[in-house]
Amino acid sequence: MIVALILVDSGTLIDARPAALLESDGRTLIEIVTATVLRGPFGGTIVASPPAFSADVHTALHGFAVQHVDAPNKGGTHEPIIHALKAAANFRQRWEKIRAAAATRFQDADDEDEEKPKPAPHKSGAAAKAKADAKAQWGKHKQNPDVKVRGLARSFDRDGVALFRAEHPLVSLELQAQMVEAFAREAATKDDEARPFAQALYEGRRGYPILMSTDGAREVEGLAAATNFDDWLLENLRRVQDVAVQEAGAVEAVRSRADLDALRPKLLKRRA
């Protein structure tokens, strides 16, 4: 399962507010990004925002099926990512426990129907069985011509985290599905040699989303709060799977009102 993280950046404020809270056609950028991510192939979505703006983010996303986490950056620019990754790890742990318990209950019910006394399966075994069942159910869709369907099918093949930035409002369903598909295929073909990170690459420019394996996420979580994550990733390019994409949305970001004005026609077109 892949957990999606949407990071609201407070590093660059516009009129004393994060870019994520700027509006286009009556919707904030965080609403636009979250609506897209929620339709993607992810097991859960976490929105990490600076405490000073968390109330505004909560209000903007009222009714959205997301988990909120406060992500201060008093210790450095990487601190919000650390908080977000910890929340993702906790989410995964809770999800795996619930899934294992559900698998055990269903197995027990099957045993009763068959009237054959069987020992209850070990929880970890039940979780593994449930995961294998999910893979089998979606395996037939891995060659589907619809990239979104392929991405959803592939999301069962590799656990990890997908990091989005709320100031990148033009990430599409197709783009995130392509990233998930490439990330999972890497693991399927290279097994233990699979690179732990995957990054969208548009015309030579590095963008978002960035996907991390569970091991990669733990490594990034352990970095110092003062780390510049983008620079750190550049220093570790041999461990990064470059995913060539055809969508400028991977690199187009809003860091000023001029940026928003430039992207507004594309945002309106996307909504139409």
> In this structure, are residues 176 and 209 in contact, taking their beta carbons and an 8 Å threshold?
yes
Q: What is the pLDDT averaged over residues 103-111?
A: 61
Task: Please tell me what DSSP assigns to residue 213.
Answer: E
Residue 62 has pLDDT above 80, yes or no: yes
What is the model's pLDDT at position 192? 86
What is the model's pLDDT at position 191? 86
Q: What is the pLDDT averaged over residues 55-75?
A: 94
What does the alpha-carbon distance between residue 164 and residue 47 come to, in Å, rounded to a whole number? 9
pLDDT range class, residue 9, cuts 50, 70, 90: confident
pLDDT range class, residue 107, cuts 50, 70, 90: low
Q: What is the pLDDT averaged over residues 1-28?
A: 91
Q: Could you read off the pLDDT of 244-255 as tens digits, one per residue?
A: 999 999 999 999
The model's pTM: 0.83
Neighbours of 216 (CB within 10 A): 22
Read off φ and ψ for residue 12, nearest 5 degrees.
Answer: -120, 110
What does the alpha-carbon distance between residue 81 and residue 206 come to, in Å, rounded to a whole number? 18
Q: What share of the chain is helix, strand, coil (3-state, %, to 5)?
A: 50, 20, 30
Q: What is the pLDDT averaged over residues 219-237?
A: 96
What is the model's pLDDT at position 13? 87
Which domains does the chain carry? 6-271 (3.90.550.10)
What is the model's pLDDT at position 78? 94
Share of the chain above pLDDT 70, in %: 80
Average pLDDT, the chain: 86
What is the model's pLDDT at position 158? 85
> In this structure, are residues 49 and 185 in contact, taking their beta carbons and an 8 Å threshold?
no
Which secondary structure element, helix H or strand E, spans residue 160, and what is its range?
Answer: strand 160-165
Q: Could you read off the pLDDT of 169-185 as tens digits, one per residue?
A: 999 999 999 999 999 99
Q: Could you read off the pLDDT of 42-51 as tens digits, one per residue?
A: 989 999 999 9
What is the model's pLDDT at position 43? 87
Residue 56 has pLDDT above 60, yes or no: yes
Q: Could you read off the pLDDT of 125-171 as tens digits, one per residue?
A: 665 665 555 555 556 666 666 555 555 556 567 899 999 999 999 99
What does the alpha-carbon distance between residue 197 and residue 239 come to, in Å, rounded to a whole number? 6
What is the model's pLDDT at position 195? 97
What is the model's pLDDT at position 153? 57
